[in-house]
Structures are given as C-alpha cells and as structure tokens.
Amino acid sequence: MKVSVIGTGYVGVVTGTCLAELGNSVTCIDVVKEKVDAINAGKTPIFEPGLEELIGKNLRAGRMKATLELAKAVLESEVTFICVGTPPKEDGSSDLSFIRKAAEGIGKAIAGKKEYHVVVVKSTVPPGTSESIIPILEKESRKKAGEGFGVAMNPEFLREGNAVKDFMEPDRVVIGGLSDKDVGIVAKLYAPFEGKHSVMRTNLRTAEMIKYASNSFLATKISFINEIANVCEKLEIDVLDVAKGIGLDSRIGPKFLNAGLGYGGSCFPKDVDALRHVAKQNGCEPELLDCVVKVNKQQAKKAIDYLKKALGDLNGKKIAVLGIAFKPDTDDIREAPAIRIINWLLEEKAIVTAFDPEAMGNAKKTLKGIVYAKDEYDCVNGADAMLVVTEWKQFGEMDLQKAKNTMKQAVIVDGRRIIDAKKAKASGFKYYGVGMKNE
C-alpha cells in the first residue's frame, strides 16, 4: 500500500521504515529539514540499533523516502499515520496542538482527492482525541467521515532501544477504527503478522485507552518493586532475589521488576500524568496512579542519600555520573532521572563529571555546569564516588581494579544494580545498591 507518515521522531521513523520493510511504499514527512535530509541520505535521525541499516535497505529498494511537502505526500498515499509529539502541559494534560495541525494539513491535502483516505492516529493521545479530529478533517476536506475518509487509532508499543524488533515482532497490534472498513484497511498493513502476532480490532477510544493503561501499568510495576526494594533494604533482604521469586509467577512475570532510581523517558511520566488528568476530568480520583508518581519522584533521591551516607557532605566532592539517558540503548534524555540527580548534586555543590555512551550530544544541549568525560574510565578518574544511573551494559563490565586505581575514594553507588556487588567489595570498593543490605 502507499503510506505517508507525519513526524519522523522515534515512532514515525520506526513506523515508516518498518512499513516499508513490510513491502509498502512509504513517504515520511517532517517539518525539520535536517531529519528529512538525514533519512534521504540513508541516516537515522535518532539512535536506534538496526534502524540505519533498514532505512538504507528500503531507500535503495525505492520503498522509502522523506519530504517536507506534507500535502503532496498525503495526496499520493492511501493511508496517513500521524506520529507527531503529544508533549505534557503544565497541568499534566497532553498538548494536542501538533495532532490538530497535522489533521488540518491532511484535511486540506485530501480535499481534492477522489479515493477514500484513512487517517491513522499513532501518537499516544487521551481517549476521545481521534474522534475530536473528525470535525477538523471534515472542515478542511469538505468531505464526510466514513464517506470521503476514514479514521483509525493504532497505538505504538515500541520500546526505545528495541524499537525495530518491537515493531516487527509485536506482542499485539491494536487497531481501533471509526468503522470496520477503516480497521480493515489498516489491518491490511499488518497482514504479514496474521497468525504470528495478535491483531486486536476495536473502536477508537478503546485503542487510545489501551495505550494509556499499558504504560500506566508498567510504571506501576516499577514503582511497586522500588517500594518493595526500600523495605528490603531495611530488612537486609536482596530485592533481586525477591523480584526473581515473584517474577517466576506467570501471573506476574519477570519484566519491569528491576528496582532502581525510578522510571523516566518521554512516555511513562507523561502518559501516567495524562491518564491521571483524564481520570480527574471525568470525576475519578486516580489514587493508585498518584502514588505511583509519588514513589517514582522519591526514588531518584536515593542516589543522593547513598552518596551522603558514603561521603558525608557532598560540597566539593567529585561525583562520576555514569549514564544520562533514561535507559540504555537510547540517546533520549527526556525526563531522565540523571538530569534531576545531577541538578541535585550541583545544588549540593558537588563537582559532577558525567558520561553516557550515546546521550552526550543531547545532554550537552541542556545540562550545563558539569564536565563531560570521554568514557567511563575518564569519568571516574579522580572521583570520590561513581554513581551508576543508567544500566548500560559496559558499566556492568567495567574493569573495577583499573577504575579504582584512578579514583580518589573507592565508592560505588549502583542505582541500577548492574555492577556485581561481591566483585566490587572484593576489589576494595564500598558498594551501595538499591534494595540490599548496605554499609
């Protein structure tokens, strides 16, 4: 099928590339020229393992291109995916202005089109949003929904760092539609998945709610294990063993039970807040989700508590922060716990050196007043403590003896339990980890 994709952020570029890989002819659209140029040059505008190869392959096969010209790309396609951002507003609600703008553009573009066109919202949006763009599309296109065009909602569940695999081998595909016809047209794009992966057909609002409920549930799992970790610590029980023990229960499952310094990223904080906002707007008190957020906010502070326990006053102490991205295998630092932690360290007048394998470029744009290191060893050189904030594999594989030889004090605060505590102690480190017996 001929597909246009509006927005080439994480979701848009992965959606466009993977739909091309499935054999469709895809045009990716953005307002940022650098992103469009990058894609047309076979480069990925975001860091995502495996994506660049796939972009190059599909460009060469003539199945994929990028453009700044929305109207032409939409007109020449049968289905348009809206993958623009839905950032949080001050009150926790979602800013839907990018969605409306995209809908206006699509409406204008299809005004002169004879064939039926399906508009698919892929961005994460509050229930009711996909219905709310119908009047915009009708006004701009002077067509009636269900006659001249259709509307569908197809939430995206990809995880940054694993996005290509998540798209190509999903646990499920959810397609909500204004009508069975619209759902059916979108389902055709996912036909290669039939029999291998579940494709759930539903209405627009349910599809929107499934996405919010999924992210809120995962955030709840993280705050739950963090709360358990804090109790474990007091009782000198290792939360890793507890997580393993409960994760073996098939009703619970082992994923999202890694105790640490809390969740971040562009999705969980914003989606949980948006769902809380939607709940309140509709007369419900989201008490559980309020606590999930509260636990998460407190959890990052544990990094400072451990450092103070190990070093006393942090004024003038040199802290090596390992990891800035909100999780490994991404360069995304949106709502990353590291940002809050580094700012608290600076308030405490600590001297901060930081390193991240992929997020240095993004970090340098927003985080000032710190030193950026070349690698993890350069980062810990002369430090009073190393603080692991993001669980990059290479931090867990560090040569601890080599690190210790250049550090001022042998202290590890492992906010993600990625460094082997026994090995660290055997190498002469004082080791502090979330959810275990600490010194």
Q: Given candidates 24, 44, 58, 123, which one binds ligand NAD under the rule CB under 6 A?
A: 123
Q: Rg of the Cα trace of the chain?
A: 24
Q: With the CA atoms of 399, 381, 370 and 393 taken in that order, what torsion angle do they form, in degrees rounded to the nearest 10? A: 0
Q: Counting contacts by CB under 6 A, is residue 303 touching ligand NAD?
A: no
CA 31 – CA 122 distance, rounded (Å): 18
x-or-dash string of contact with ligand NAD, 91-120, rule CB under 6 A: -------x--xx--x---------------
Q: Counting contacts by CB under 6 A, is residue 124 touching ligand NAD?
A: yes
User: φ, ψ for residue 249 (rounded to 5)?
Assistant: -75, 120
CB atoms within 10 A of CB 171: 9
83, 232, 267, 379: which one is catalytic? 267
CA-wise closest residue to 45 among 7, 18, 74: 7
Q: Counting contacts by CB under 6 A, is residue 27 touching ligand NAD?
A: no
Q: Counting contacts by CB under 6 A, is residue 28 touching ligand NAD?
A: no
Is 267 in the active site? yes
CB closer to ligand NAD, 214 vs 298? 214
CB closer to ligand NAD, 46 vs 373? 46
The alpha carbon of residue 119 and the mean position of all alpha carbons in its chain are separated, in whole angstroms, by 24
Q: In this chain, which stretch among 77-85, 107-115, 193-201, 298-306 interacts with ligand NAD, using CB under 6 A?
A: 77-85
x-or-dash string of contact with ligand NAD, 245-284, rule CB under 6 A: ---------------------xx-----------------
CB closer to ligand NAD, 96 vs 311? 96
Q: Which amino acid is at 396?
A: G
Angle at 88 between CA 258 and CA 177, to 5 degrees: 90
Are 334 and 266 in contact by the 8 Å Cβ rule? The answer is yes
CB closer to ligand NAD, 104 vs 348? 104
Q: Counting contacts by CB under 6 A, is residue 12 touching ligand NAD?
A: yes
Q: Given candidates 3, 4, 5, 11, which one binds ligand NAD under the rule CB under 6 A?
A: 11
Q: Counting contacts by CB under 6 A, is residue 224 touching ligand NAD?
A: no
Q: Counting contacts by CB under 6 A, is residue 35 touching ligand NAD?
A: yes
Minimum gap (Å) between residue 393 Cβ and ligand NAD: 20
Minimum gap (Å) between residue 83 Cβ and ligand NAD: 5
Q: Which amino acid is at 149?
A: F
Q: In this chain, which stretch among 6-14, 131-139, 178-186, 405-413 interacts with ligand NAD, using CB under 6 A?
A: 6-14
Minimum gap (Å) between residue 334 Cβ and ligand NAD: 8
Q: In this chain, which stretch among 26-34, 112-120, 130-138, 247-255 interacts with ligand NAD, using CB under 6 A?
A: 26-34
Q: Given candidates 58, 86, 154, 390, which one binds ligand NAD under the rule CB under 6 A?
A: 86
Q: In this chain, which stretch among 10-18, 36-44, 368-376, 429-437 interacts with ligand NAD, using CB under 6 A?
A: 10-18
Q: Counting contacts by CB under 6 A, is residue 83 touching ligand NAD?
A: yes
Q: Counting contacts by CB under 6 A, is residue 16 touching ligand NAD?
A: no
Element housing 68 (H / E): none
CB closer to ligand NAD, 136 vs 380? 136
Residue nearest to ligand NAD (CB): 9
Q: How many residues does the chain have?
A: 439
Minimum gap (Å) between residue 249 Cβ and ligand NAD: 28
Q: Given candidates 3, 4, 5, 8, which one binds ligand NAD under the rule CB under 6 A?
A: 8
Enzyme catalytic residues: 267
Which residues contact ligand NAD by CB under 6 A?
6-12, 29-32, 35, 70, 83-86, 98, 101-102, 105, 123-124, 156, 158, 160, 266-267
